[in-house]
Amino acid sequence: MIPTLPLNDGTTIPQLGFGTLNVSRDRTRSEKNTAATAEIVGSALGMGYRHIDTAQMYGNEAGVGRAVAASGIPREQLHVTSKLGNGNHDPGEVHRSFDRTLNELRLARLDLFLIHWPLPSLYNGDYVTTWRAVTDLVRDGRLRTAGVSNFQPAHLDRVIGETGIVPAVNQIEVHPYFRNDTARDASAAHGIAVEAWSPLGQGAVLDDPVLDRIALAQAKTPAQVVLRWHIQHGHVVFPKTTHRQRMAENLDVFGFALSAEEMAAIDGLDRGPAGRIGPDPDTFAWIP
């Protein structure tokens, strides 16, 4: 059973889900991408995943929507997240692109929608107006929970200070080589749940000898040990894989526990900013 975590807006979220970045190695909104995504997400849903993480910029929302529709799983048992594309920060575009997202996902209401990147050097540095537009969607009833992604402490302080509305979630890069304490601590201080993106460091952490040692002692795989480390830290995770055996493995992380020594050993792998594998949110300014 996958536990749910409470969010600061009174809703809940399954602590483990399925990531869909590059599940089909194709970010175009093509039928090929839609079919490939639908097949992989359909496998994940069939295996017991109930939380799917997608984004406007992944080009695969239609594939997720097709898999969800075909699954026959009751809507209330599913949790679907999408994220605002970097080219859609103007308030009118927030609303228009959100309508497209609902349409492609074949949903009447989305569970969680995030500002994907703060883009502080674009849109005159005004991610606050964008945040207001996203929170309007909750008032309209088309969105259950509003959150952000890749927000640094100063970005959180600013949206909260200027709107009084605290995001429920901050989705940030976190894995053993990049603990990202600065953004994690700031999120926790505001009561914002941390979602860890690239929880396996896109596979880069999995050959680490410390993880091998713990995996051997626990009779688990390094990926399961890393995911368990996240779970015990209270992070929400959604590892991505295109392999069914790994999908099953990544789900099977609730029947064992890491000791305090094992948690500390994994904490000790942190490389600080040098461990970051994705872009720096303070400078990232990419519009696809």
Ligand X SMILES: O=C(O)C(=O)[C@@H](O)[C@H](O)C(=O)CO
Ligand Y SMILES: NC(=O)C1=CN([C@@H]2O[C@H](COP(=O)(O)OP(=O)(O)OC[C@H]3O[C@@H](n4cnc5c(N)ncnc54)[C@H](OP(=O)(O)O)[C@@H]3O)[C@@H](O)[C@H]2O)C=CC1
**Would you tell me which residues interact with ligand X (CB under 6 A)?**
21, 55, 57, 116, 278-279, 286
Measure Cα distances from 261 to 213, 251, 258 in Å: 12, 24, 8
Cβ-based neighbour number of residue 3 at 10 Å: 11
Q: How far is the CB of 98 from ligand X (least distance, A)?
A: 17
Does the footprint of ligand Y cover residue 101 (CB under 6 A)? Answer: no
Q: Strand order in 51-53's β-sheet? A: 18-19, 51-53, 79-84, 110-115, 143-149, 169-173, 193-197, 236-237
Out of 199, 214, 231, 266, which residue is the one contacting ligand Y (CB under 6 A)?
Answer: 199
Instruction: Please count the residues of this chain forming the interface with ligand Y, following the rule CB under 6 A.
Output: 27
Q: Hey, which residues between 223 and 262 contact ligand Y (CB under 6 A)?
A: 223, 238-243, 246, 249-250
Contact 225, 267 (CB under 8 A): no
Strand ranges in 125-259 using DSSP code E only, listed in sequence order? 143-149, 169-173, 193-197, 236-237
Instruction: Quote the CA–CA distance of 37 and 193 in Å, as a whole number.
Output: 27
The binder of 253, among ligand Y, ligand X, none, by C-beta within 5 to 8 A per type, is none
49 is catalytic: no
57 binds, among ligand X, ligand Y, none (CB under 5 to 8 A by kind): ligand X
Q: Is 116 annotated as a binding residue?
A: yes
- H/E stretch holding 199 reads none
Counting contacts by CB under 6 A, is residue 265 touching ligand Y?
no
Report the amino acid identity of residue 229.
Answer: W
Q: What is the nearest approach in angstroms of ligand X to the Cβ of residue 258?
A: 27
Question: Between 192 and 223, whose beta carbon lies closer to ligand Y?
Answer: 223
Q: Closest CB to ligand Y belongs to which residue? A: 19
Beta strands per DSSP E along 42-84: 51-53, 79-84
Measure the CA–CA gap between 278 and 172, rounded to whole angstroms. 10
198 is a site residue for ligand Y (CB under 6 A) = yes
Is residue 13 a contact point for ligand Y (CB under 6 A)?
no
Residue 114 or 141 having the CB closest to ligand Y: 114
Q: Which residue, 254 or 284, is less far from ligand X as judged by CB?
A: 284
Instruction: Give CA–CA dist 56/250, Å, rounded.
Output: 25
Nearer to ligand Y, 49 or 197 (CB): 197
From 38, 41, 174, 200, residue interacting with ligand Y (rule: CB under 6 A): 200
Check: CB of residue 86 under 8 Å from CB of residue 57: yes
Return the number of the residue (21 or 138) whose C-beta is nearest ligand X: 21
Contacting positions for ligand Y (CB under 6 A): 19-21, 53, 116, 149-150, 171, 197-203, 206, 223, 238-243, 246, 249-250, 278
Among all residues, which ones are annotated catalytic?
Answer: 58
